[in-house]
Amino acid sequence: MKQFYIVPAAVLALGACSNTNVDTASKAPSWVTDVASYEYKADVVKDNVDVLPDWFTEMPEDDKAIYAVGTAITPDLQLSVDMAVINAKSTLADRINGRVSSQAKTFISKIGSDETDTSILSEVEKVTKNLVADVDVAGYKVMEQKIVSSGTQYRSFVLLEYSDVEAQKILLNRLRKDRLLLNKISATNAYKELDDAVNAAQEERTAENDVITDILSQ
């Protein structure tokens, strides 16, 4: 049966005011009955905190990208990496949903400012309403990765990046699926701006890939 303990506020305050070092941090308080177990778990927690990458606790900030981190621990090295990526992708999907939803609202606002017919504006709103459900995180990049030992297991940390343009591409592809609507909005400034941004990003990525290919072929 698990035992629960209530720690008096005075004890916590006293501990906060004292100079705690690495050696005393893992020592069990007087109220702990299983001292060995407590100290072992405290050491494990400390070791885990010590190996945390800086980018795991403080992700990059960039208006043109979305970031997410993930971690996992398993007895198999590759599995720990794969599970960390899966965990990060789950968080990334939620953040992409928010970004795509925001971009859809911005696009609708721009369409409205182009003096577009109200019936067309209603069609755009209808098409983009369920856009979040179509989110695909396939365009992510693994920007950082760290693997450390944890007893007899491997712990992996990963940082994923998802370009803002990839989120714009989700919106653009959804609009392109509706041919009738596309014919009505393709001449608007809002659509041209969205299309130009995605095309420019694709051209830039193609150029980067060509440079990498040339370097590898040398």
Residue range 124-137, pLDDT digits in tens: 887 776 665 556 67
pLDDT grade for 159, boundaries at 50, 70 and 90: very high
For residues 218 and 105, the model is more confident at 105
3-state DSSP call for residue 136? Answer: coil
Please tell me the predicted confidence (pLDDT) of residue 29: 60
Average pLDDT over residues 132-145: 78
Please tell me the predicted confidence (pLDDT) of residue 47: 62
Average pLDDT over residues 204-213: 72
pLDDT grade for 46, boundaries at 50, 70 and 90: low
pLDDT of 22 over the 50 cut: no
For residues 160 and 109, the model is more confident at 160
Beta strands 65-74 and 141-150 are unpaired
φ and ψ of 185, to 5 deg:
-110, -5
CA distances from 119 to 29, 112, 116, 128 (A): 70, 11, 8, 15
Lowest mean pLDDT among 24-38, 53-67, 134-148, 165-179: 24-38
Residue 9's CB: how many other CB atoms inside 10 A?
8
CA-wise closest residue to 68 among 203, 161, 143: 161
Average pLDDT over residues 130-149: 79
| pTM of the predicted protein model | 0.66
pLDDT grade for 16, boundaries at 50, 70 and 90: very low
C-alpha to C-alpha distance for 68 and 97, rounded to whole angstroms: 13
Q: What is the mean pLDDT of the chain?
A: 77
DSSP 133: G
C-alpha to C-alpha distance for 113 and 190, rounded to whole angstroms: 9
- Percent of the chain with pLDDT strictly greater than 90: 19
